[in-house]
């Protein structure tokens, strides 16, 4: 990774409004205080994969927000939807900016949920590897097939098919590849300092 990271002090108003748990993630030196479009996209896709892994995923996101005392950032379901609609691929895409504090909150929640799902994530990735090695269709593993099917359904229902980035995923095979890639990212963030490493990777090429 060629990007460099600098930790900069926040002004007093931001410190007061930022929950302590978010201090686990470094402040990045960006030209803008809001998140770049690629960062917004990646965060939303990671949450989409969590929703495909766990039924009631959006409720789980809100529950973890309360558990981690992040209600001041993610207040309710509508507020969460507005944050995720900053993903430029979304049908419901808005020009609303995603603040760094909001992005941190979403990443912290995603990592906490990923840790709870670590066993499931490892099992799915292992099943994928074994079936690929033996050239067995992925559909023959029920658990893996269910995850991929739910991810494809979520993606198709929520993303705008006219967006150039979305057009690239115009087949079930390509969507399966994306779903499996996101599983790898979720596993990545469950490791040592995984939350911090995931956070920094979301701004690769963006930080000064």
Euclidean distance between CA atoms 116 and 95, whole angstroms: 33
Return mean pLDDT, the chain.
87
Tokens matching residue 165: 């980035």
- CA pseudo-torsion sign 199, 172, 124, 53: positive
User: Who wins on pLDDT, 73 or 27?
Assistant: 73
pLDDT band at residue 61 using 50, 70 and 90 as cut-offs: very high
- Residue 149, pLDDT > 90, answer yes
Q: Of the candidates 135, 21, 156, 110, which has an alpha carbon nearest to the alpha carbon of residue 148?
A: 156
Distance CA 69, CA 170 (A): 39
- Specify the length of the chain in residues: 208
Choice between 192 and 128, residue whose per-residue pLDDT is larger: 128
Give mean pLDDT, residues 127-147: 94
Q: pTM (2 decimals)?
A: 0.86
């Amino acid at each position: 990774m060629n990007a460099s990271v600098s930790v900069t002090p926040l002004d007093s108003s931001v410190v007061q409004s930022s929950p302590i748990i978010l201090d686990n993630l470094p402040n990045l030196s960006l030209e803008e205080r809001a998140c770049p479009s690629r960062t917004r996209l990646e965060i939303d896709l990671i949450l989409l994969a969590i929703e495909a892994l766990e039924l009631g995923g959006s409720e789980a996101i809100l529950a973890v927000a309360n558990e981690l005392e992040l209600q001041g950032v993610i207040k309710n379901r509508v507020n969460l939807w507005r944050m995720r609609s900053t993903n430029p691929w979304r049908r419901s895409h808005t020009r609303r900016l995603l603040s760094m504090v909001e992005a941190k909150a979403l990443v912290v929640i995603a990592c906490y949920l990923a840790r709870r799902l670590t066993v499931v994530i490892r099992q799915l990735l292992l099943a994928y590897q074994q079936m690929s090695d033996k050239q067995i269709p992925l559909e023959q593993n029920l658990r893996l097939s269910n995850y991929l099917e739910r991810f494809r359904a979520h993606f198709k229902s929520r993303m705008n098919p006219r967006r150039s980035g979305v057009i690239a995923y115009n087949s079930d095979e390509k969507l399966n590849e994306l779903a499996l890639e996101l599983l790898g990212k979720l596993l990545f963030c469950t490791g040592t300092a995984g939350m911090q490493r995931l956070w920094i990777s979301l701004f690769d090429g963006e930080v000064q």
